[in-house]
Amino acid sequence: MTASFEYRAILSKIEDLVSDEDRQRLNFLLGDDPSQILSENSPIDYQANGNQRTVSIEGVLPRDNEEDKIGHTALMFDKSDRCTPTESKTSTSSSVFVHNKKQVDANQSYWSNRIWKKSLNIYHRILISIIVLLGVISLPLVIVQTWKHIERSSQLKQAAKFINAAQQYYINVQYTKALENYDKALAIQTKIFAEFHPDLAARYENIGSVYFDMGHHSRALENYHKALDILQRTLPSTHPNLASLYSNIGLVYSRMGDRSTALQNYDNALQIQQKVLPPTHPDLAKTYNNIGSVYSHIREHSRALENYDKALEILERTLPSTHPNIATCYNNIGTVHSDMGEYSRALESYEKALAIYRKTLPPTHLKLAKGYNNIASVYFNRGEHARALEKYKKVLEIQQKVLSPMHPDLASTYNNMGAVYSAMGQYTRALETHKKALAIRQKTLPSTHPDLGTTYNSIGIVYSAIGQYTRALENYHKALKIRQKALSPTHSALGGTYTNLGMAYSDMGDHSRALKNYKKALEIQRKALPPTHPNLAKSYNDIASVYSNMGEHPRALENYKKAFEVLLETLPRVHPNLATAYNNIGVVYYVMGEYPRALENYNRALEIQLQVFSWNHPAISTTYNNIALVYFAMGDRPRSLENYDKVLEILQKALPGIHPKFATTYNNIGLVYSDMGHHSRALENYHKALDILQRTVPSTHPNLASLYSNIGLVYSQMGEYPRALENNNKTLEIQQKMLPSTHPDLAKTYNNIGSIYSYMLEHSRALENYDKALEILQRTLPSTHPNIATCYTNIADVYFNMGEHSKALENYNQTLAIQKQTLPPTHPSLAKIYFKIGLTFTRLSEYSKALEYYEKAVQTNRTVL
């Protein structure tokens, strides 16, 4: 029997109980004659209990049908499909969570259309008749209250419409419109419902979900806590909806980087579920999954795997083997293995997930895209960039078919592809792809969303790589501003931004700012990461590079070795980062004059790079450049030029023509030609380098200082001393502005200026500058460093030319003592110093000693004489 028939039957019974006078009053006020209403029905046996006068209001009032309620679906638990380490869907973390979307069925509303037909009129006749019959209140007041009830129902119907509209906007990622409609619904329901009505909790939770997806985590928490306050007052402490809400709150804290509070809320959810659910219930699996995700983020890999395994065990016992949730669990397990550097195991788990998706889903399903995305991330981390790019293109192909052109997932994929292009040295494509991501996120996300910070950071990396440091800093500062507002103070993404700022300042020669930012990054990482995490190794590397540039080589070597120890524990032996570590250690040994150790480390780096990179990768060019420098320092000019030619060949294929790395290579080639006495070729290469640097770096950049110094040296060799002095003074001016007073580069410049004054026979000025150089070198370098030996030789030469032969001999002997400890016995430099000592003894008329040293010179290297 339909509700309409039931109401008419009840009304018929009540009409028998109402007096004729009241019946007439009802007809006058409500309009219809009951006999006319009842005549519309099919025959009903409504007189069976006609004489029964006991009436129950509870029995007469209609019960809400299930279809008449606003559909608040049970709160779902979060799934944690993992994304690329380059970028997660909404943060720099590698986890992508599917947040609770409170779906409202469009077919469900608080008042269905049928109650606005005659059955509603009958319902109100029943209600009013009972109230009049029992003599509760006067009939006019009853009518007023009835119309208020009708108005209330109309308002709730409007609220339901706003809720349904909000849900559609939410699904379509139109968050502002979703919020607008949820707020309208909440405004209506707040006026109608009691302060702690459960429907208000549902609205606050809806609003919280929208703010979460917009990246407004504090507002999301504010609304979730309002919902929690209501549910804690109105539901038992073990109600499943409370568990769901704790889970959502945990997700927000996790996204904010507050892992401990996230874990606390997930544990609250777990405690409820363990009390009210069977041990194999799927909701328990989801909570174990969320707890595993937190442990994964804080790098407690064993606990993460423990919880993911619990989730997987439940799912495998309760779901078919090809269920998507099992695939999700495999994805998460794969991510932990990837974070541990166990790339083979990670790939195995990711491929299991992908196999499930392929069996159960259509070829354009977004889950397939996520599967390809995760596999691409492993290839990226292994340095297999071509394979990574291939998988990302599959991701993009699927997303372009099923998503709108402005969907945030497309932005994530563009950002990841940009990172691969950048790693491959294809900077133009990288920048183009990152800007596609930025265009999407600027249109779909609020200005403080963490994903916008990720994109600005990525664009800054590319600009830094192509030498446009001002643009790089501009984007890094945009990223920093967003991340400081959206993330916790110890969030890894915040540390990454400080690292990138430090790198840009370092490239610009601003060492103090570089060190300040690198140390901020290290401080964050020490709090958030285990001591063997690869990001710590990177920070040690960065700090070491600054110390090296500042001339503090022992500190540089100390930090490089810390980085190397971390990497050896976490990476395979052919990983690109190990090659970088070998290169960095080689640089310090080179600067310290330990050339065999430098060459040993450079060759190890090159061996790895040739296995993991294509031939024209810029990283390989860097290693060839370093090897060339060592051969040059060891006096092997042909091998040095051979390696520089390889560098130039790679750069011409990989970089734009005005990149600073070209300037470095031209400068180095100029050095070799200068040392070989080919002055015109040397100046030609130096001026190519100068043209590039003047267009790409600030006027106080250290590389400009070095270049002016090198140009000055050639002019000095050509006998054009005024030009030589002019260029060296330009060098000194830059260095005095940018370097500490004891920096070795200042010593080199004082030495060069001293040489020019020596050639110009201005001996006092020459000695003044040589003494400044020696004082710096003795304070910053080991006592047997070759540069100290060179400085002693130069001072001795001035004293010799001044006729102060005893002082000359004293300084020559200092040189000889150092060279005997550091050079092979047949090295040409030893022959030169033997000859100079012999010549000095000749001037002192000590001919036997002079002859002794001349013979040593001849025996060492006959070509010296």
Judge whether residue 196 has pLDDT over 50. Answer: yes
Residue 740, burial from CB neighbour count under 10 angstroms (0-12, 13-18, 19+): middle
pLDDT band at 290 (very low <50, low <70, confident <90, very high): very high
| Cα 204 to Cα 221: distance, rounded to the nearest angstrom | 10
Tokens representing 80 are: 């944690």
20 Cβ partners below 8 Å, 6+ apart?
A: none
| Cα 637 to Cα 715: distance, rounded to the nearest angstrom | 21
Per-residue pLDDT at 20 = 59
Which range is least confidently modeled, 9-18, 311-320, 540-549, 707-716?
A: 9-18
| Cα 14 to Cα 124: distance, rounded to the nearest angstrom | 12
Judge whether residue 206 has pLDDT over 70. Answer: yes
Residue 658, burial from CB neighbour count under 10 angstroms (0-12, 13-18, 19+): middle
Per-residue pLDDT at 49 = 34
Contact criterion met (CB below 8 Å) for 82 and 95: yes
Judge whether residue 859 has pLDDT over 60. Answer: yes
* Other Cβ atoms closer than 10 A to 849: 15
Query: Three-state DSSP class for 98?
Result: strand
| Cα 611 to Cα 623: distance, rounded to the nearest angstrom | 14
pLDDT band at 21 (very low <50, low <70, confident <90, very high): low
| Cα 237 to Cα 229: distance, rounded to the nearest angstrom | 12
Judge whether residue 164 has pLDDT over 50. Answer: yes
Per-residue pLDDT at 149 = 62
pLDDT band at 560 (very low <50, low <70, confident <90, very high): very high
Which whole number is the average pLDDT over 182-202? 91
| Cα 702 to Cα 234: distance, rounded to the nearest angstrom | 69
Residue 846, burial from CB neighbour count under 10 angstroms (0-12, 13-18, 19+): middle
Contact criterion met (CB below 8 Å) for 793 and 811: yes
* Other Cβ atoms closer than 10 A to 86: 25
Digit-coded pLDDT (tens) for 828-850: 889 999 999 999 999 999 999 99
Amino acid identity for residue 463 in this structure: Y
Which whole number is the average pLDDT over 363-373? 93
573 Cβ partners below 8 Å, 6+ apart?
A: 608
The full DSSP string for 178-189 is: HHHHHHHHHHHH
Contact criterion met (CB below 8 Å) for 259 and 300: no
Per-residue pLDDT at 151 = 73
| Cα 662 to Cα 644: distance, rounded to the nearest angstrom | 11
Q: Which of 163, 228, 230 is nearest to 196 (CA)?
A: 230
Greatest mean pLDDT among 3-7, 412-416, 748-752: 412-416
Per-residue pLDDT at 121 = 52
| Cα 412 to Cα 81: distance, rounded to the nearest angstrom | 14
Segment holding 116, helix H or strand E: none
Q: Could you tell me the maximum CA-CA distance found in the chain, to the nearest angstrom?
A: 152
Query: Three-state DSSP class for 79?
Result: strand
Residue 595, burial from CB neighbour count under 10 angstroms (0-12, 13-18, 19+): buried
Q: Which of 418, 423, 419 is nearest to 433 (CA)?
A: 418
Residue 355, burial from CB neighbour count under 10 angstroms (0-12, 13-18, 19+): middle
pLDDT band at 487 (very low <50, low <70, confident <90, very high): confident
398 Cβ partners below 8 Å, 6+ apart?
A: 363, 364, 365, 366, 368, 369, 372
**Cα 710 to Cα 12, 217, 362, distances in angstroms:** 111, 55, 64
pLDDT band at 127 (very low <50, low <70, confident <90, very high): low
The full DSSP string for 52-118 is: -----HHHHSPPPPGGGS---PPPPPPEEEE--TT--SSSSSSEEEE-------TT--SS-GGGGSH
Contact criterion met (CB below 8 Å) for 603 and 567: no
Per-residue pLDDT at 748 = 86
Per-residue pLDDT at 153 = 78
Per-residue pLDDT at 509 = 78
Tokens representing 346 are: 């990670």
Contact criterion met (CB below 8 Å) for 651 and 621: yes
Judge whether residue 571 has pLDDT over 80. Answer: no
Per-residue pLDDT at 29 = 43
Digit-coded pLDDT (tens) for 98-119: 344 333 333 333 333 333 334 4
Digit-coded pLDDT (tens) for 232-283: 999 999 999 999 999 999 999 988 878 889 999 999 999 999 999 999 998 9
Which range is least confidently modeled, 622-631, 774-783, 797-806?
A: 774-783
| Cα 602 to Cα 622: distance, rounded to the nearest angstrom | 10
Mean pLDDT (the chain) is 82
Amino acid identity for residue 848 in this structure: S
Instruction: Count Cα atoms within 13 angstroms, Cβ side, for 568.
Output: 8
The CA angle 7-9-13, to the nearest 5 degrees, is 115
Per-residue pLDDT at 27 = 52
**Cα 342 to Cα 345, 348, 563, 566, 628, distances in angstroms:** 6, 10, 19, 15, 35
Judge whether residue 745 has pLDDT over 50. Answer: yes
78: left (phi over 0), alpha (psi -120 to 50) or beta: beta
| Cα 631 to Cα 638: distance, rounded to the nearest angstrom | 9
Per-residue pLDDT at 126 = 52
| Cα 170 to Cα 177: distance, rounded to the nearest angstrom | 8
Digit-coded pLDDT (tens) for 633-678: 999 999 999 999 999 999 888 776 677 888 989 999 999 999 899 9
| Cα 147 to Cα 578: distance, rounded to the nearest angstrom | 79
Per-residue pLDDT at 731 = 95
Q: Which of 641, 626, 633, 516 is nearest to 580 (CA)?
A: 626
Judge whether residue 756 has pLDDT over 60. Answer: yes
813 Cβ partners below 8 Å, 6+ apart?
A: 837
Judge whether residue 606 has pLDDT over 70. Answer: yes
Domain ranges, ordered by start, for the chain: 3-64, 802-865
Per-residue pLDDT at 207 = 96
Per-residue pLDDT at 78 = 38
Judge whether residue 723 has pLDDT over 80. Answer: yes
Q: Which of 629, 779, 774 is nearest to 706 (CA)?
A: 629
Judge whether residue 24 has pLDDT over 70. Answer: no
Helices assigned H by DSSP within 172-319: 175-192, 198-213, 217-234, 240-255, 259-276, 282-297, 301-318
Digit-coded pLDDT (tens) for 63-85: 333 332 333 323 333 333 333 33
Digit-coded pLDDT (tens) for 305-335: 999 999 999 999 999 999 989 999 999 999 9
Digit-coded pLDDT (tens) for 48-58: 333 332 322 23
Per-residue pLDDT at 661 = 82
The CA angle 576-577-583, to the nearest 5 degrees, is 95
* Other Cβ atoms closer than 10 A to 671: 23
Helices assigned H by DSSP within 655-701: 660-675, 679-696
Query: Three-state DSSP class for 80?
Result: strand
Per-residue pLDDT at 511 = 86
pLDDT band at 15 (very low <50, low <70, confident <90, very high): low
pLDDT band at 172 (very low <50, low <70, confident <90, very high): confident
Beta strands in 291-411 (DSSP E): none
Per-residue pLDDT at 572 = 77
Judge whether residue 89 has pLDDT over 80. Answer: no
Judge whether residue 37 has pLDDT over 90. Answer: no
What percent of the chain has a predicted confidence (pLDDT) above 90? 54
Q: Which residue has the higher pLDDT, 135 or 166?
A: 166
Which range is least confidently modeled, 7-21, 473-487, 730-744?
A: 7-21
Query: Where do we find the tokens 């990001």?
Result: 535
| Cα 75 to Cα 169: distance, rounded to the nearest angstrom | 19
Per-residue pLDDT at 55 = 29
Select 802-865's CATH number: 3.30.420.310, 3.40.50.300, 3.20.20.80, 1.25.40.10.
Answer: 1.25.40.10
Tokens representing 595 are: 């050339």
